[in-house]
């Protein structure tokens, strides 16, 4: 199954960069039929890449919570009409899926995977909570990607 992993977030804001780092890790695995795309924000040009896939995982940081959130996987359903509200990191993966469907006639099976966080201040280091969540998410995702190979 041709799969795309889009991990996004600001690597200069602590745990906000955990999605970006996940995509970098997946990229290093070199799995057949899996493409990873680390990026700082979701942009409309990604719609063309989505249209070429059978499945996509959007990976991002959840908002810091006390107690911290677990890994949260959600299957996405395309909205009936595309939104033109691309505002960087605040854009939603559904906007991209709808745009891919509208422009290219295809949107893949899609999921969001939100990772737990604790600190999003200035800095490049991940908190222990984000590190642990990323490790769990990498193991979970690798199992799914290898099973579909």
> pLDDT by residue for the chain (149 residues), tens digit each?
899 999 999 999 989 999 999 999 999 999 999 999 999 999 999 999 999 999 999 999 988 776 777 889 999 998 666 555 555 556 789 999 999 999 999 999 999 999 999 888 899 999 999 999 999 999 999 999 988 76
Residue 126's CB is within 10 A of a number of other CB atoms, namely: 23
- Cβ contacts of residue 131 below 8 Å, gap of 6+? none
Considering the entire predicted model, what is its pTM? Answer: 0.90
CATH number for the domain whose boundaries are 3-147: 3.40.50.1450
Alpha helices by DSSP H, listed for the chain, are 18-29, 46-50, 93-104, 128-147
């Amino acid at each position: 199954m041709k799969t795309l992993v889009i991990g996004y977030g600001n690597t200069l804001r602590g745990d906000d960069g955990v999605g970006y780092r996940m995509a970098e890790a997946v990229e290093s695995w070199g799995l057949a039929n899996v493409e990873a795309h680390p990026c700082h924000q979701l942009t409309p040009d990604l719609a063309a890449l989505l249209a070429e896939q059978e499945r996509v995982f959007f990976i991002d940081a959840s908002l810091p919570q006390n107690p911290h959130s677990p890994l949260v996987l959600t299957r996405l359903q395309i909205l009936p009409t595309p939104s033109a509200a691309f505002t960087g990191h605040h854009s939603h993966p559904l906007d991209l899926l709808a745009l891919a469907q509208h422009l290219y006639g295809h949107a893949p099976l899609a999921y969001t995977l939100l990772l737990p966080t604790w600190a999003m201040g200035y800095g490049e280091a991940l908190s222990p909570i984000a590190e642990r969540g990323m490790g769990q998410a990498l193991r979970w995702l690798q199992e799914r990607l290898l099973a579909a190979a």
